[in-house]
Amino acid sequence: MNIETFISDAVRRSVEALYGELGDEQLQIQKTRKEFEGDYTLVTFPLLRRSRKSPEATATEIGEYMTANIAEISAFNVIKGFLNLSLDSRFWAARFAEIVADEAFGQAPATGRTVMVEYSSPNTNKPLHLGHIRNNLLGYSVAQILKANGHTVLKANLVNDRGIHICKSMLAWKLYGNGETPASTGMKGDHLVGKYYVEFDKHYKAQIKELMAQGQSEEDAKKNAPIMREAQEMLRKWEAKDPEVYSLWETMNGWVYEGFDVTYKALGVDFDKVYYESQTYLLGKALVDEGLEKGVFYRRPDNSVWIDLTADGLDEKLLLRGDGTSVYMTQDLGTAFRRFEDNKLDDMIYVVGNEQNYHFQVLKLVLKKLGYADWSDHITHLSYGMVELPEGKMKSREGTVVDADDLIEGMVSTAREMSAELGKLDGCTEEEANAVSTMVGLGALKYFILKVDPKKTMLFDPRESIDFNGNTGPFIQYTHARIRSILRKAAEAGIDFGGVAAADYLPEEIDLVKTLTEYPSVVAAAGENFAPSIIGAYVYELAKQFNGYYHDHSILKEENADVRRMRLQLVRQVARVIRSGMKLLGIDVPERM
């Protein structure tokens, strides 16, 4: 049963019985605020012209009618013009029975919509870092949440495998690498290539300094540095499919992909489709030609292609360089076109940091001007804030980033150390201890990042994230393990807790049922807002609520068999919803700890 619909219908019938037909008039009904007693609140002020009574008298009259005529309404109270209605325990017991019987609880029916979520989108010139971790976890979780909302979801990765930044790593390896490989060094391929991206920057800065010492301005020195000119020449050769450059590009990208796959597996994220910019930039160039023909774009004397968006409150945007090489916008136009054409998408969501807000504003506008408004309006940029560390911002070209692999390894190691200190691994085999440490370390990392509103810049503190108390992944994981332990003991004792026993519910038990009934609407809200943080907040509150209940009430030692059975079924559903919610965040929960 949809509780909101039930309440709305019951209130409407009562108001019409007292004051006549409402027609299209909408009633204002909302969940009762926590500081007041009641489940749902009717705002009576819009009804005063019908009742011709004061707000308090109108609310009282409706409340008295409903308690007398609607069996499920057990009580009411009036605060000024607000009527707070309480539903009786039998109503909530019936809702609980529905939850137990619904194997797909929290999963919405199919909508028929196909949504693509693009995330990760790494460059093949460096390993993944902490910023990529937020991107991957956010993208994967949003995809899981949209799937739970009934959409067909395609998880996509656009690999930025071409461009000047890729040539920088390639050139530095060629100049200073002495032929070293992942096999010869024992380094992961992405780490080895990233080492040469940093190496390029070091030599580039030294050359700029030297040219400035010879009297060149900083701007000229940046343009004239031999290593940068060589990288630009390498890019031109790559676009011309020069055999030597192309072969080196394929080799080094191959090293990177192997490295990325290891990191993705460790993070527990995957993709349904992988696109490569090297395969889509030519389609982008074709769209640029189309734009020139339509007069949407224009060519400057240096042969570069631009669009003038000043009339739209933006600026002029480069689409193709004078030497014919493409820019990010060129390839994004091509990729967007390809995706909508190939997959018949209803919506396309880009999970990209907030420094690209302007880029996506331009992308949508350019597509619209090219005549693709029917689908360009279905592009959403899920913009997220940066991840900062207590020491400040990270810079990959200077090699000051927090490497994703190191962070994952450190989280698992810290989780093992803290779990052992607290006795959480007592009685575990070595294999179980490793599995729990990995689950807790990754759960801590994922929850700490996803509990924050995506739009906010966040400060990441590894040790704080692994605390077993407070709003953390390990606290929720431990709560799940505790409930599973109770259920195992019940099974070992031969206690049957199938179905739902007829028993009187305590107010705290009704409160747990009420929280459980909210899960589908929480999943819906998280989907509408692309916000895993909504799921995180809900699951944490549910775990906290269970712990308070468990502290005050016995479950296994309860002597009344029906009450004990009801309590066991209740906590089983709490564990089920915790597991389901955490899965939407990409987090596993342990059976024992």
> 3-state SS string over 377-392?
CCEEEEEECCEEECCE
What values do phi and psi take at 558, rounded to 5? -60, 125
SS3 (DSSP) at 107: coil
Q: Which amino acid is at 101?
A: A
Are 88 and 72 a contacting pair, CB within 8 Å?
yes
pLDDT of residue 234: 96
pLDDT of residue 399: 46
Q: Which two tokens stand for residue 207?
A: 């050359």
What values do phi and psi take at 571, rounded to 5? -70, -30
Q: E strand or H helix at 218, and its extent?
A: helix 218-224
Give the pairing type, strands 152-159 and 273-276. parallel
Distance of CA 119 to the CA centre of its chain: 10
Are 408 and 442 a contacting pair, CB within 8 Å?
yes
User: Distance between CA 495 and CA 568 in Å, rounded?
Assistant: 9
pLDDT of residue 397: 43
Per-residue pLDDT of the chain (593 residues; tens, 9 = 90+): 889 999 999 999 999 999 999 988 899 999 999 899 999 999 999 999 999 999 999 999 999 999 999 999 999 999 999 999 999 999 999 999 999 999 999 999 999 999 999 999 999 998 998 889 999 999 999 999 999 999 999 999 999 998 899 999 999 999 999 999 999 999 999 999 999 999 999 999 999 999 999 999 999 999 999 999 999 999 999 989 999 999 999 999 999 999 999 999 999 999 999 999 888 878 888 899 999 999 999 999 999 999 999 999 999 999 998 988 778 898 889 889 888 888 889 999 999 999 999 999 999 999 999 999 889 999 999 999 988 776 654 444 444 567 899 889 989 998 898 888 888 888 888 888 899 899 999 999 999 999 999 999 888 877 788 888 889 999 999 999 999 999 999 999 998 887 776 778 999 999 999 999 999 999 999 999 999 999 999 999 999 999 999 999 999 998 898 999 999 999 999 999 999 999 999 999 999 88
CB atoms within 10 A of CB 208: 20
User: Distance between CA 567 and CA 573 in Å, rounded?
Assistant: 10
**DSSP line for 295-353:** TSSEE-TTS-EEEE-GGGTS-EEEEE-TTS-B-HHHHHHHHHHHHHHHH--SEEEEEEE
User: Distance between CA 390 and CA 209 in Å, rounded?
Assistant: 31
What values do phi and psi take at 126, rounded to 5? -170, 160
Question: How would you list the strands of the sheet with 316-320, edge to edge?
Answer: 298-299, 305-308, 316-320
User: Distance between CA 198 and CA 410 in Å, rounded?
Assistant: 23
Q: Which two tokens stand for residue 173?
A: 């390896």
Are 7 and 27 a contacting pair, CB within 8 Å?
no
Short-list 431, 498, 390, CA closest to 97: 498
Q: Which two tokens stand for residue 591?
A: 């059976």
Short-list 385, 397, 396, CA closest to 457: 385
User: Distance between CA 329 and CA 8 in Å, rounded?
Assistant: 49
Rounded to 5°, the CA angle 388-129-225 comes to 95
User: Distance between CA 149 and CA 152 in Å, rounded?
Assistant: 9
pLDDT of residue 394: 42
Are 116 and 157 a contacting pair, CB within 8 Å?
no
What are the domain boundaries of the chain? 3-87, 119-388, 414-584
Q: Which two tokens stand for residue 443?
A: 């759960």
Distance of CA 48 to the CA centre of its chain: 45
Tokens 């390993």 belong to residue: 127
User: Distance between CA 552 and CA 348 in Å, rounded?
Assistant: 48
CB atoms within 10 A of CB 22: 13
Short-list 105, 90, 101, 104, CA closest to 518: 105
Both ends of the chain: CA-CA distance in Å? 36
Are 88 and 109 a contacting pair, CB within 8 Å?
no
SS3 (DSSP) at 476: helix
DSSP H helical segments within 73-129, as ranges?
A: 89-101
SS3 (DSSP) at 36: coil
- CA torsion angle for 443, 446, 448, 449 (degrees, to 10)? 180
Helices 561-584 & 507-517 angle (0-180, nearest 10): 30
- CA torsion angle for 493, 497, 502, 507 (degrees, to 10)? 90
* CATH architecture assignment, domain 3-87: 2-Layer Sandwich (3.30)
User: Distance between CA 298 and CA 244 in Å, rounded?
Assistant: 35
Are 69 and 23 a contacting pair, CB within 8 Å?
no
Distances (CA, A) of 469 to 227, 243, 420, 460: 53, 58, 15, 17
Query: What does DSSP assign to residue 123?
Result: B
pLDDT of residue 500: 73
CATH, domain 119-388, list 3.90.640.10, 3.30.70.20, 3.40.50.620, 3.30.70.270: 3.40.50.620
What values do phi and psi take at 329, rounded to 5? -60, -40
Equal CATH topology for 119-388 and 414-584: no
pLDDT of residue 400: 54
What values do phi and psi take at 31, rounded to 5? -70, 140
User: Distance between CA 79 and CA 529 in Å, rounded?
Assistant: 32
pLDDT of residue 469: 86
User: Distance between CA 543 and CA 515 in Å, rounded?
Assistant: 11
**DSSP line for 421-448:** HTTTTTT--HHHHHHHHHHHHHHHHHHH
Contacts for 573 with CB less than 8 Å, ≥ 6 apart: 96, 99, 100, 516
Which is the CATH superfamily of the domain at 414-584? Isoleucyl-tRNA Synthetase; Domain 1 (1.10.730.10)
pLDDT of residue 62: 97
Point out which residues pair with 79 in neighbouring strands.
82
User: Distance between CA 95 and CA 169 in Å, rounded?
Assistant: 60
SS3 (DSSP) at 153: strand
pTM of the prediction?
0.90
